[in-house]
Amino acid sequence: MMNTVATKPFDGQKPGTSGLRKKVPVFQQPHYAENFIQSIFDSLDDFAGKTLVIGGDGRYHNREVIQTAIRMAAANGFGRVLTAQGGLLSTPAASHLIRKNGAFGGIVLSASHNPGGPHGDFGIKYNASNGGPAPEKITDRIYECTRVIGTYKISDAAPVDLDRAGTVKVDGMTVEIVDPVSGYSALMQTLFDFDAIRDLIKSGFTLRFDAMSAITGPYAKRILEDMLGAAPGSVVNAVPLPDFGGHHPDPNLVHAKELYDLMMSPKGPDFGAASDGDGDRNLIIGKNQFVTPSDSVAMLAANAHLAPGYAKGLAGIARSMPTSCAADRVAEKLGIKCYETPTGWKFFGNLLDAGLATICGEESAGTGSNHVREKDGLWAVLLWLNILAKRRQSVADIVKQHWQEFGRNYYSRHDYEEVDADAANAMMADLRARLPKLKGEKAGSLTVSAADDFAYHDPVDHSDTAKQGVRVIFDDGSRIVYRLSGTGTAGATLRVYIEKYDAKNLGLETQSALYDLIAFAGNAAQIKQRTGRAKPSVIT
């Protein structure tokens, strides 16, 4: 039976760059998730009888909200819900499922790389029919709906057995439960030369993939071990756990330190990789060679033609503004355009839909292509493996040759986490006000040639997005970028991105190569005075 339940708005259900993210106890309040899901439905038109994909990254509270979303989809008039066994879908696999089945949209439950568990983070995101994160005009509408909501609709049908593949009915609506991996692995086989990768592995090439007790475990085990022949045990932490084993499922050098240390040791394998909580981010490390995400986008783009899915070349490359300009150099050489977008994957959607860009990437370990409308961790791993299989060189050699050919963009991000939000906002406001005065100032031998607040004009839908981060640009193209995170759940996170191009000195240590710029960045924004922080919480 369908019920209409009376409710009242909650404060602050404003979806950020990646949906609504809050602590689990916030989501556990009566009506909280229901209000947000109803607001998603209220913001949409003409979905009666259509298909909705629902899935999540398996974190704590996943199953409860999936059951709720299924019962609400039925009561709101969807014709079919598509979900996967255990309700488990990586973000890229959910994107693929939406696209492949011509679904109206999808609800993806995840807080990405944030920790999980009863006191961890949870999130709800809406993806549109192209498989990508909802554009701002939809998320704004969702927010408006959360502010006026008075009732939600929900069926009182019994919970669905999510573990059994097959089709069941919930109050007249069809619920189809599929295997989470098979559709995704079939897509990967169309893009990459699985035979070549299998031969490479057969020749003695070794790898380790750390699934960080998160969603990519089952995907990586099936693809890397079962299909490509990597030795059993090559995929570690392969079982998705509701609390990610108490770890932070963020594939960076802090949280994937064990993998990093192994890759830097003589007994390490040839190739190391990891993915995050919901499977859209990647970490790539060769033997004794970490690949920065910004470099990875550039190197993947430069070599993509070696994979069957990209053999015809790329239409264009897109990178988020704070991502290093390494990809721009590749685009220039390939004679294609490099688009610079605001932070957040949703800005790539229009470029991909319009066929303007093929490969996209962000400095925050997100890389992907037009095969889905989300970034895709395993995709990046497989493209690297495809390139290694064709070039038969080590990761370190490929990286070094790339720098020799294109020069090196030294790059680092300094994060100041959980700083006081008012102090951070005031710091940014002051910095914005002082931008004209920065021109002509010096950082070592470099001079500021321009300083602005990045604004984006979308070449496809012609929308404008302002205030996307402060850029300080130097005469040699070096850059400092400041922005506040849009995904944090406590206080504010200040991100400072520092970049310096060098065509000659290719083997410097990154923080030393950036020394003058780092000092300038601190002084120009008065980070210490404003936030009380003498140094960043995380340096990547």
- Annotated catalytic residue 364: no
Residue 278 binding result from Zn ion, ligand G1P, none, given CB thresholds of 5 to 8 Å by partner type: Zn ion
Task: Tell whether residue 487 is a contact of ligand G1P (CB under 6 A).
Answer: yes
Q: Is 39 among the residues that bind ligand G1P (CB under 6 A)? A: no
Report the largest interatomic distance among the alpha carbons of the chain, rounded to a whole angstrom: 72
Indicate the residue among 106 and 268 with the shorter CB distance to ligand G1P. Answer: 106
305 SS3 class: helix
Tokens of 509: 């240590």
Nearer CB in complex with ligand G1P: 449/465 = 465
Q: How far apart are CA 90 and CA 217, in angstroms?
A: 10
Site string for ligand G1P, 312-341 (x = CB under 6 A): --------x---------------------
Q: Which two tokens stand for residue 11?
A: 């404060």
> Per CB under 6 A, which of residues 340..359 are in contact with ligand G1P?
343-345
Instruction: Give residue 374's identity as a one-letter amino acid code.
Output: E
**Which lies closer to ligand G1P via its Cβ, residue 55 or residue 469?**
469
CA distance 105 to 101: 10
Give the Cβ contact number of residue 315 at 10 Å. 16
Please measure the distance between the N-terminal and C-terminal CA atoms of the chain and give it in whole angstroms. Answer: 52
Which residues fall within 8 angstroms of residue 479, CB to CB, at 6 or more apart? 325, 471, 472, 473, 497, 498, 499
Of the residues 193, 210, 278, 458, which one makes contact with Zn ion according to CB under 5 A? 278
Nearer to ligand G1P, 210 or 276 (CB): 276
229 binds, among ligand G1P, Zn ion, none (CB under 5 to 8 A by kind): none
CA angle 482, 407, 257 (to 5 degrees): 60
Selection from ligand G1P, Zn ion, none that 276 binds (CB < 5 to 8 A by kind) is Zn ion
Q: Rule CB under 5 A: which of 101-130 touch Zn ion?
A: 112
3-state helix, strand, coil in the chain (%, to 5): 35, 25, 40
For residue 122, what are its two tokens?
């949870």
Q: Does 276 bind Zn ion (CB under 5 A)?
A: yes
Binding string to ligand G1P for residues 91 to 120, with x set by CB under 6 A, is what?
Answer: ---------------------x--------
CB–CB of 56/109 below 8 Å? yes
Q: To the nearest whole angstrom, how small is the minimum distance from the Cβ of residue 84 to ligand G1P? A: 21
Nearer to Zn ion, 121 or 328 (CB): 121
From Zn ion, ligand G1P, none, which one binds at residue 495 (CB under 5 to 8 Å depending on kind)?
ligand G1P
Catalytic residue among 39, 110, 112, 369: 112
Residue 139 lies near ligand G1P (rule: CB under 6 A): no
Backbone φ, ψ for residue 28 (5° rounding) = -80, -5
CB of 516 to Zn ion, least distance (A): 33
Please calculate the CA angle 138-141-146 and round it to the nearest 5 degrees. 130
Of the candidate residues 79, 242, 486, 491, the single one contacting ligand G1P (CB under 6 A): 486
**443 phi/psi in degrees, rounded to 5:** -125, 100
> What is the C-alpha R_g of the chain?
23
Q: Does residue number 364 form part of the binding site for ligand G1P (CB under 6 A)?
A: yes
Give me the active site residues, please. Answer: 112
Binding site for ligand G1P (CB under 6 A): 17-18, 112, 320, 343-345, 362, 364, 366, 485-487, 495
Q: Which residues bind Zn ion (CB under 5 A)?
A: 112, 276, 278, 280-281
